[in-house]
């Protein structure tokens, strides 16, 4: 497995959550079989884990964000990568 700290360092995105502009710290990771997903934190609080599914749609693995918020985070991740 690749060293993700070197190949996929953490980065910040800014999105609109709950009507407020928030900076989200994104940490890429991968499953044991190599599927990439993203841990997302706001401050010290982990708010979600998301990944791009087989249909090229962002899905939430963990968290309570709306589909629109997940899509906004995913879109910001794609623009940053």
Structure tokens at 47: 């708010």
pLDDT at position 16 is: 87
What is the spatial distance between Cα 73 and Cα 47, in angstroms, rounded to a whole number?
11
Distances in Å between the Cα of 78 and the Cα atoms of 1, 51, 70 are 22, 11, 12
pLDDT digits (tens, 9 = 90+) for 18-67: 788 999 999 999 988 888 999 999 999 999 999 999 999 999 999 999 99
Half-sphere CA count of 17, side-chain side, radius 13 A:
20
Cβ atoms 73, 24 nearer than 8 A:
yes
Q: What is the pLDDT of residues 9-21, one digit of tens each?
A: 899 999 988 788 9
d(CA 73, CA 67) in angstroms, rounded, equals 10
């Amino acid at each position: 497995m690749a060293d993700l700290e070197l190949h996929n360092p953490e980065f910040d995105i800014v999105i609109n959550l709950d009507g407020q502009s928030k900076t989200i710290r994104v940490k890429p990771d991968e499953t044991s079989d190599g599927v990439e997903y993203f841990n997302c934190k706001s401050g010290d609080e982990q708010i979600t884990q998301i990944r791009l599914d087989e249909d090229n749609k962002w899905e939430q693995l963990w968290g309570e964000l709306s589909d629109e918020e997940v899509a906004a985070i995913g879109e910001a991740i794609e623009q940053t990568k």
